[in-house]
Amino acid sequence: MTECLKEISLCVGQHNDKPFLFTVRDQDGALVDISDAAQITFIVAESVSGQIYLTKTIGSGVTINNANQFTVTLTDTETGTLPPGVLYCEVELTASGGGRYTIGAGEFAVQDTRIRGV
């Protein structure tokens, strides 16, 4: 598998449920088969070297949808614990053979919200 690190920019409102759909492509834009992935890990952190606020993995918020796509689902409770502002996110795939590939990294914006269960 030869992925190029893809720049991603995601956004969520605090206290919102939010699914993020990812399509995995290699550096040439060809779809990559992830159906036999051993693990997919998604994190939200303060910064690239800062505190990790949230981790999602297969079976715990990460779902492989088909051979080339997966969804990361955040709940309103989880997004409610994230501080407003621009954070960092990263997603890594562990192949069935053990190879690890960072397939995306970048900004994760959290917008403060006012309405909460009104």
By DSSP bridging, strand 52-58 and strand 85-94 are: unpaired
Domain ranges of the chain: 7-111
On whether the pTM is more than 0.85, the answer is yes
Q: Does 59 or 99 have the greater pLDDT score?
A: 59
Contact 32, 68 (CB under 8 A): yes
Per-residue model confidence as pLDDT tens digits over 9-24: 999 999 999 999 999 9
Residue 102 in 3-state DSSP? strand
Instruction: Assign 3-class secondary structure to 19-71.
Output: EEEEECECCCCCECCCCCCCEEEEEEECCCCCCEEEEEEECEEEEECCCCEEE
State the Cα–Cα distance between residues 18 and 72, nearest whole angstrom. 8
Query: For 7-111, CATH number?
Result: 2.60.40.10
Q: Residues of the chain with pLDDT > 70: what percent?
A: 93
pLDDT band at 98, cuts 50/70/90? confident
Mean pLDDT of 32-40: 94
Provide the terminal-to-terminal Cα distance of the chain, rounded to the nearest Å: 48
For residue 92 the two structure tokens come to 């890594």
What are the residues facing 6 on neighbouring strands?
none
